[in-house]
Amino acid sequence: MNQPAPPPDPTSPAEPVPTSGRKMAPWVEVLHPITWFPPMWAFGCGVVSSGVPDWGRWYVIPLGILLAGPLLCGTSQVVNDWYDRHVDAINEPDRPIPSGRLPGKTGFYQALLWSALSLLVAWMLGPWVLAASALGLGLAWIYSAPPLRLKGNGWYGNAAVGIAYEGLPWFTGAAAMAGGFPHWEVVVLALLYSAGCHGIMTLNDFKSVEGDTHTGLRSLPVQLGVEKAARLACAVMAAPQVVVIALLLIWGHTLAAGLVTLVLGLQALAMLRWMERPRELAPWYNQTGVTLYVSGMMISAVAIMPAAG
């Protein structure tokens, strides 16, 4: 009887995949530039919410955007691709690491290099930025790497990504502009919106329920079922925004509270449509509902500028 062939080892030399039509070099492709927007936007919210009009520190903004997107977020993407290389060799063999376009342990070394560059730039922006960046890097590595591999469970993995993609960049933007620990209102908003991001991350799990079940990844749709996971995601996205609205009213930002309420109401309408077919409409909600969500982030950031300053 013929023995089954062993799975491919992406760290061994591989037949290069034809590169005709590719627009990015493999070392750039593995950084997944399309994923950089959320943390860069959150960093921008931090800059705005800091309320510090010290344009003598203008250099903080481009350095911070570089840190939040290409460096820290890029590192998390390389780390994830490296530790998912065996799965990608089956499901997405065209990716840079399993295809051999990023050969041997190049992906791992790039993850180490990007981690070091991230810490260097964070150090240039101050001790609080360095501390937040080190925490974000730690979450990026334990999210993908064994033995913890937080991505294996939707409860822990989504929380880690929410903190790393929204809360920490927001905190970093404010700390970088202020040159110290941000105002407490800034920290509260960053925590609330990063909590809501837990639900946003669940949106990405609906497309791969069968694959996650087969590979043992316990995403929330796998653990709870598609309908319950969708309802939970809606609640997790909405609840922190309700708290934000209440806080904005308490802090005297009536107009901002009204605008965030409007944004949340539009999200609720989109949620009702999404609930009709959670799996099929998850990408649609990711475009519409999440755009509204991050709009509320910036509205809240603008509102607290005077108090924060």
Tokens for 202, please give them. Answer: 């669940």
Predicted local distance difference test score (pLDDT) of residue 8: 43
Is 193 inside a domain boundary? yes
Number of domain units in the chain = 1
**Residue 22, pLDDT score:** 62
Identify the pLDDT of residue 18: 47
List the one residue out of 83, 95, 84, 73 whose CA is nearest residue 14. 95
The encoded tokens of residue 141 equal 């590595």
Nearest Cα to Cα of residue 209 among 159, 280, 160, 143: 280
Q: Per the domain annotation, does 256 fall within a domain?
A: yes
CATH classification at residue 39? 1.10.600
Point out which residues pair with 153 in neighbouring strands.
218
Q: Is residue 23 part of a domain?
A: no
Dihedral over alpha carbons 304, 298, 207, 275 (to 10 degrees): 80
Residue 85 falls within a domain, yes or no? yes
Residue 19 lies in a domain: no
Domain contains 4: no
pLDDT reported for residue 2: 41
**Closest-CA residue to 179 (of 38, 60, 21):** 60
pLDDT value of residue 5:
41
Low-confidence residues in the chain, pLDDT < 50: 1-21, 308-309
Q: How many C-beta atoms lie closer than 10 Å to residue 61's C-beta?
A: 16
Q: How many CB atoms lie within 10 A of CB 5?
A: 6
Longest dimension (CA), the chain: 76
Q: Is the residue at 13 inside a domain?
A: no
Residue range(s) defining the domain that contains residue 282: 28-308
Residue 9 inside a domain? The answer is no
pLDDT score, position 307: 54
pTM recorded for the entire structure = 0.89
- Cα distances (angstroms) measured from residue 251 to each of 254, 265, 294: 8, 21, 21
